Amino acid sequence: MDLNDRIARFEALVVEDPENDMAYFSLGGAYNQAGRYEKAAEAYLRCTELNPSMSKAYQLAGAALMATQDTERARDVLTEGYKVAAQRGDLMPKQAIAELLEKLGAPIPEVESAPRSEATGEFVCRKSGRPGHRMANPPYRGPLGQWLQDNISRETFYDGWLPTGTKIINELRLDLTRDADAAVYDYAMRAYLGIDSKTYREITGTDPTPIDAQSREMIERMFGDPDEIASYKGGLKEIVERGE
pLDDT in tens, 173-196: 888 888 999 999 999 999 989 898
Instruction: Answer whether residue 82 shows pLDDT above 90.
Output: yes
pLDDT bracket for residue 87 (50, 70, 90): confident
- Give the CB-side neighbour count of residue 2, counting CA atoms within 13 A: 3
The residue ranges of every structural domain in the chain are: 3-104, 142-242
Going from the C-alpha of 27 to that of each of 170, 186, 194, 216, the distances in angstroms are 15, 23, 25, 16
What is the C-alpha separation between 101 and 134, in angstroms, rounded? 36
The mean pLDDT value for 109-135 works out to 72
Instruction: Answer whether residue 91 shows pLDDT above 80.
Output: no
CB-based contact 161:135 (threshold 8 Å): no
pLDDT bracket for residue 1 (50, 70, 90): low
Instruction: Answer whether residue 232 shows pLDDT above 70.
Output: no
pLDDT bracket for residue 201 (50, 70, 90): very high
Sequential DSSP letters for the chain? --HHHHHHHHHHHHHH-TT-HHHHHHHHHHHHHTT-HHHHHHHHHHHHHH-TT-HHHHHHHHHHHHHTT-HHHHHHHHHHHHHHHHHHT-HHHHHHHHHHHHHHTPPPPP-PPPPPPS--SS-B-TTT-SB-PBPSS-SSSHHHHHHHHHHSBHIIIIIIIHHHHHHHHHHTT--TTSHHHHHHHHHHHHHHHT--HHHHHHHHSSPPPP--HHHHHHHHHHH--HHHHHHHHHHHHHHHHHT-
Instruction: Answer whether residue 236 shows pLDDT above 70.
Output: no
The mean pLDDT value for 119-131 works out to 76
pLDDT digits (tens, 9 = 90+) for 53-66: 888 899 999 999 99
CATH code of domain 3-104: 1.25.40.10
> Which residues have C-beta within 8 Å of that of residue 229, sequence separation ≥ 6?
91, 92, 191, 194, 196, 223
